[in-house]
Every structure is written in structure tokens, then in C-alpha cells.
Amino acid sequence: MRLDWKGVRLDFDLYLVLDGERIGVRDLEGLKKLLATGDLDLSASSVGLTSDQLLRKMEALKGALGNVDYEALEEISQILEQKRVLVHGCVRGLKRPSVAVDMVVLKGDSVLLVRRGRAPYEGYYALPGGFVEYGERVEEAALRELREETGVEAELVEQFGVYSDPNRDPRGHTISVAFLLEYKGGKPRGGDDAREARFFRLEKLPPLAFDHSEILKDGLLAAARRGLL
């Protein structure tokens, strides 16, 4: 959940954890669509998930509720929204850096990029990445954001840098932990706030948003040390 208050960006999300599955408001919207249409692939893609991810969330809810219907999902959504408002009231005014992750995902001599679907840098290409959720390890956040934004599966190789310039993100002070990953499978597709996801050959890269050219350069040095290039 992203809020702006007096120039301070506050990022938080609320979700249920059932049988190890995180189920948030966006997930519930996908599950509602699944109940309404019966189309698993369409419902999953509408909220930036894979079919397997959405199915696991539905099974976790069934395990907790015994039976899942639209009214139950709507009630859970309302509860999470009420809690979000309460949390907003508690955290409002705190001025702290946000923590994010950025990923350099290599496939041979190509790197995975996403085209941003929202400001800042809307329409520009960037490394896959996103904000770390409360209670989440940065390694977990990297793999989650990669799946949500691109649908790609990859293996973590190493954490190669931390980028903390207060001016690196026009929305506010954001510290990014950068990871090198090796592609393992999946067809890239845009999801979450990514309009598009695709591999680019390293010699034919578009201009990158934020400080991602610097992060990519450092990631490629790490890959060379690992013998991946």
C-alpha cells in the first residue's frame, strides 16, 4: 500500500498468512474474479500472479474456511481495508527511508528489464524490483517481486550492492539492496506495475530509470567474477 503525506512516502501492505500463503487485497480480487468466471489463467494474470500462485492461495483459504464464496472474500477485503486505515493512522508522519530490492537477472548475454507502468519514469525500462514487505527477508522480497513483475523464475546468486543515495528516487529516500540472479525458466510478461518484461542483449540496452545503469554495471562485474559472462 503506497501513501504520500507531506512529501513522505509510506509503503505498507496488509495480508493474511494461511498455510504459508500471503493473501492480500489484490489477491482477493483475483480470487473473486476466479469465482465469477472460472477462468484461472485470466484471473491470475489480472492481478499479476501465475495460475499456480492463485490456485495455492485459493487452496489455503479453503483449508481455513472450508468453503470459499464471494461474500467471504468481500468480508476479508473489508477487514484488511479497515486495518489498513488504522495502520495509516498509526504510521502517519514517520519519516524513514524505504527499503527496496533490485534484481539483475541474466540469461546468457541478456538481462531482464521491465517497462514501468507508472510514475516516476513511466514508460522507461528498469531492472525488476520493488519494496520489501514488513516481516519479509530481502531475499524473499527479491524472488517475490521478480515473480509478480515478470513471471520469471530465477536462482539467487549473490547480493552485490546496497544503494542509499537519498536522491536516487524522486519519490523519497529509498535504500535498495541489489541481487544477481540466474534465469531458470518462465516466459517474461509484465505484471503488477510493470507494463512489459523482456530480455535485452547487453550490447543493445535502452536508457534505464533511476540509478539502474550503475546497479547493472556493478551486477555485471559480479557476474564476471562468478564466471556467468
pLDDT tens readout for residues 19-28:
888 888 888 8
Report the CATH number of the 98-225 domain: 3.90.79.10
Helix (H) or strand (E) holding 105: strand 98-107
Q: What is the largest CA-CA distance in the chain?
A: 54
Domain positions in the chain: 2-91, 98-225
Distances (CA, A) of 155 to 103, 106, 147: 11, 10, 12
pLDDT in tens, 62-106: 888 888 888 888 888 877 776 665 555 555 555 678 899 999 999
Instruction: For residue 196, indicate whether it is catalytic.
Output: yes
Per CATH, 2-91 and 98-225 having the same topology is answered no
Q: Please identify which of the residues 29, 136, 158, 196 carries the catalytic annotation.
A: 196
Of the candidate CATH numbers 1.10.10, 1.25.40, 3.10.50, 1.10.540, the domain formed by 2-91 belongs to 1.10.10
- Does the pTM surpass 0.75? The reply is no
